[in-house]
């Protein structure tokens, strides 16, 4: 299971300031591992062309627990970026850590996190909340935003500074505010 029940209680959450990084999450023998943000900066520049622009940004939700039949109040949000050549990056905040994954198959990022199934079920599936064209910015701008805003060192608060606030702040920073796609794919212009 992705997380245990105690992970979401404030008293048991000790933020580790580390993140789980899996650059090949859709490959059976990928190499997901724990890494510090400094190590990630070095690894990213060697792994991928961080100057290539992101094309689309979406944020999704999944229930916190596999037994949930409603997810109106209790849910986890995560962001997926699509780069032009159909490479996907997910980034998400958990009570004790961050997770960053890369895949050619977006379906893996929607159904798994840290190589474990997401706690979705028939009543509460993984859902897209918002989708937008991304600002013409490179993936390195996403990393810069996270580091400059010190998102990796923010304390977790289950009411105010959680996966929802993190995902929305990343999404709002990188969406093209002139064109936002709703999950029913109707476009509108924001004024």
What would the pLDDT profile of 127-184 be if each residue is shown by its tens digit?
999 999 998 888 888 888 887 777 777 778 888 889 999 999 999 999 987 655 544 4
Q: What per-residue confidence (pLDDT) applies to 58? A: 96
Sign of CA dihedral 189, 83, 93, 121: positive
CA–centroid distance for 68 within its chain: 21
Q: What SS3 class is residue 107?
A: helix
Q: What percent of the chain has pLDDT over 90?
A: 42
Higher pLDDT among residues 107 and 29, named by residue: 107
Q: Strand ranges (DSSP E) for 115-154?
A: 116-117, 127-134
pTM for the complete prediction? 0.82
The helix, strand and coil proportions of the chain, stated in percent and rounded to the nearest 5, come to 25, 35, 40
Token code pair at residue 129? 């909340």
């Amino acid at each position: 299971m992705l997380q245990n029940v105690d992970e979401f209680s404030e008293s048991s959450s000790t933020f580790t300031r580390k993140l789980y990084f899996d650059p090949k999450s859709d490959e059976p023998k990928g190499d997901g591992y724990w890494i510090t943000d400094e190590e990630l900066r070095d690894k990213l520049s060697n792994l991928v062309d961080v100057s290539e622009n992101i094309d689309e940004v979406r944020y999704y939700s999944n229930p916190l627990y596999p037994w949930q039949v409603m997810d109106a109040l209790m849910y986890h949000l995560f962001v997926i970026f699509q780069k032009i050549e159909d490479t996907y990056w997910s980034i998400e905040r958990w009570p004790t850590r961050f997770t960053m994954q890369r895949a050619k198959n977006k379906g893996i990022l929607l159904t798994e996190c840290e190589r474990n199934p997401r706690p979705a079920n028939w009543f509460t599936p993984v859902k897209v909340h918002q989708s937008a064209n991304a600002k013409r910015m490179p993936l390195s701008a996403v990393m810069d935003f996270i580091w400059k805003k010190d998102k990796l060192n923010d304390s977790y608060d289950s009411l105010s500074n959680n996966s929802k606030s993190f995902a929305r702040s990343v999404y709002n920073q990188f969406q093209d505010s002139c064109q936002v796609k709703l999950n029913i794919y109707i476009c509108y212009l924001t004024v």
